[in-house]
């Protein structure tokens, strides 16, 4: 447990303040249409295709876990019947990701959710979230949960709350800076200081 006061972060590491949110029933009822030329479909992706989309969507926010994960462990997640990878495509090109993880009993985690920066502001967030809630509660779950952090898009926390999620906990995550290990380029996420 972190005590009050300032705490230095080890050299070569970064720290994020994480907000955990949840809901126990869908707040968005029924599907919302995607703009013309945009589709959403559940896909079974191979590791390389998944990581390319994961990087395209998450690099500005330093998403890293699936880039450093063992190939066999990632493949096991992507092929598990208790996970769903929904890919958002515009004119056939993958631009977004909504990943649902039903592996916790009676729960679903919105493990990853986002679109490439170039596609923001095009009316995709609402339809993506309506799809995520519909698919999550199509199974017998008691709770749908997600987390975001202070490095994410500044609109993320407000978006989740507007979509019906309620914050229930905060935490601090400290981990090696992925830019120093070649997982992201040094100029990625300039809003997060890179200290060696």
What residue segments make up the domains of the chain, in order of their start? 27-178
Class of domain 27-178: alpha beta
Total-model pTM: 0.93
Predicted confidence (pLDDT) per residue in 63-101, tens digit = 999 999 999 999 999 999 999 999 999 999 999 999 999
Residue-level pLDDT at 44: 96
148 sits in the region (left: phi over 0; alpha: psi -120 to 50; else beta) called beta
Residue 148: name the closest of 10, 2, 19, 36 by CA.
Answer: 19
Predicted confidence (pLDDT) per residue in 115-140, tens digit = 999 999 899 999 999 999 999 999 99
Q: Please count the CA atoms within 13 angstroms of the CA of 90 that sit on its side-chain side.
A: 14
Is 64 buried (19+), middle (13-18) or exposed (0-12) by CB count in 10 A?
Answer: buried
Predicted confidence (pLDDT) per residue in 23-70, tens digit = 999 999 888 999 999 999 999 999 999 999 999 999 999 999 999 999
**What residue ranges in the chain does DSSP mark as E strands?**
13-23, 38-42, 83-90, 93-101, 107-115, 143-149, 166-176
End-to-end CA distance of the chain: 26
Residue 196: is its pLDDT beyond 80?
A: no
């Amino acid at each position: 447990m972190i005590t009050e006061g300032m705490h230095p972060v080890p050299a070569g590491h970064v720290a994020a303040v994480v907000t955990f949110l949840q809901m126990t029933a869908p707040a968005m009822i029924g599907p919302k249409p995607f703009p013309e030329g945009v589709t959403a479909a559940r896909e079974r992706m191979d590791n390389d295709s998944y990581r390319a989309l994961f990087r395209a969507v998450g690099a500005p926010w330093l998403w890293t876990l699936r880039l450093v994960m063992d190939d066999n462990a990632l493949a096991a997640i992507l092929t598990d019947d208790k996970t769903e990878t929904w890919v958002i495509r515009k004119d056939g090109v993958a631009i977004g990701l909504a990943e649902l993880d039903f592996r916790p009993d009676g729960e679903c985690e919105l493990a990853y959710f986002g679109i490439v920066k170039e596609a923001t502001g095009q009316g995709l967030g609402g339809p993506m979230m309506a799809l995520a809630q519909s698919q999550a509660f199509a199974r017998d779950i008691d709770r749908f949960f997600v987390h975001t952090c202070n490095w994410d898009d500044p609109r993320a926390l407000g978006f989740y709350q507007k979509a019906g999620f309620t914050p229930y906990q905060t935490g601090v995550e400290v981990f090696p800076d992925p830019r120093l290990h070649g997982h992201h380029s040094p100029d990625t996420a300039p809003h997060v200081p890179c200290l060696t």
